[in-house]
Chains A and B, each alone.
Chain A
Amino acid sequence: MANPLYGRDIISISELTRPEIELVLDTAKRLKEHPDHTLLRDRVIASCFFEASTRTRLSFETAIHRLGGQVIGFSDASNTSMSKKGETFADTIRIITSYADALVMRHPQEGASRLAAEVSKVPVINAGDGSNQHPSQTLLDLFTIFETQGRLDNLSIAFVGDLKYGRTVHSLAQALCHFGAKLHFVAPKQLAMPDYLVDELKEKGIVCEFHDSIEEILPELDILYMTRVQRERFDESEYHSIASKFILRAATLRDAKKNLKVLHPLPRIDEITMDVDDTPYAYYFQQAANGVYAREALLALVMNEEV
């Protein structure tokens, strides 16, 4: 029987069941330990990034190469017919997906990947659509959490920073509903987790708590998930008073549990000071490296009946 992700579009993490998530994580672990260069042999994958990306694009493309596949695509949509000649987005996708065996796509507008999946005859993998979803980031986050904690169930996880617009936070929080996590939200009021998402989490039985500072909650955490407070959302004086509350320094970690790991989807600007990098808690660079294995697993499962 084909694996349940074979031929599927991967648009939103909320569409994956717990067994399907676990299948991706198991496959990622296996591919990290035992690379397989044949899983995308003779396959062409379109990698279309309508907005800038460093880690996601390069880790997807690395994953494709490592699995023996070939990549076509672009990392700058300004030279496409859509941008130059006014072709519709739907037509652009129809054409690209007639050339390739799958499409990996990032777009600045929410819902673009869903629309792409509806007009495409080959599987579409969402590599981020505006502030909405970023399922492969969520899978690499879960893979990293599992790698560092040895489990996903009943962990105490804090999200810090921009929780309003941060799609990685939204997707990861939704995925953690499968694993009974206790979630702590630390954010300025202007960037608080949206009410409708908090309601959705609570309806699924997730305990959600809200805090004003990292120190308040640190001693009970297993995972501290930092995000960037974006300067452009505030005036300069407001930004400085807010951002100073949401900066992680090595000294802040004094009372942390031994198993605590600090994660961050990156890029980090100044919300994690450099001295944290040298602590045993910092795991964000390994997290970014895990992106290749999680994306290898996703591609391998979508493109092969059996992995």
Chain B
Amino acid sequence: MSENEKKDYGTLKVEAIRNGSVIDHIPAGRALQILRHFKILRQAATEQIPITVGLNLASNRSGTKDIIKIGDYFLDQKQVNQLAFLAPGSTINIIKDYKVVEKLRPSLPERVTGVFACPNANCITNRENTVDTCFTVYESKGEVMMKCHYCEKAFSQDIVCKNLK
């Protein structure tokens, strides 16, 4: 498929929603992971929430991207901040009556609880299912690092984010 064909294909498939949330500029391949993590698909099935998912669409910014449009569903700030890890660089638009009423950018939270498994296989959190993982987030030498509250090991954000619970 040529770049132009790819662009047209992307434009045609993503429709506007009346009310809800649009998560744009998701790194290609992450959209389904996000839906799973926020348990949106389960909710969609019971409450008939309309969802449009675009995978591997053309993006001027990053080459390819994913996009999610969820009707009648509004992401809260906690979910938005989790997107800083799940989909770095993504943007969130809140739509009301087909208009963007709020643009949100995920910002790094100081702590992330219960989202990722600790990459350290010998961390107690990988043995005790009853405990939520907890990472402190900080920057070191221009890199986002995450330190496990329990085993005290620090990892780059990329390594931790591969371990979605």
Contact = CB atoms under 8 A, between A and B. Distances in A.
A110 B128 contact: no
B99 interface: no
A196 B152 contact: no
B124 A109 contact: yes
A112 B150 CA distance: 7
Given A89-B127, A90-B128, A90-B131, A111 B140 contact: no
A131 B148 CA distance: 14
Interface residues of B, number: 20
A199 B152 contact: no
Decide if the interface of chain B is mainly helix, strand, loop or mixed. Answer: loop
Interface in B128-161: 128, 130-131, 140-141, 145, 148-154
A78 interface: no
Contact of A111 (B125, B141, B154): B125
A contacts with B: majority SS: mixed
B127 A110 contact: no
Interface string A104-123: 00011111101100000000
Contacts of A89: 124, 127-128
B122 A131 contact: yes
Given A109-B122, A110-B122, A110-B123, A115 B128 contact: yes
Nearest to B125: A111
A247 B72 CA distance: 68
B150 A111 contact: yes
Interface string B14-51: 00000000000000000000000000000000000000
Contacts of A108: 122
A173 to B, nearest CB: 13
Interface of B: 118, 120, 122-125, 127-128, 130-131, 140-141, 145, 148-154
16 contacts: A88-B128, A89-B128, A90-B130, A108-B122, A109-B127, A110-B123, A110-B152, A110-B153, A111-B125, A115-B125, A115-B128, A130-B151, A132-B153, A196-B154, A199-B140, A199-B141
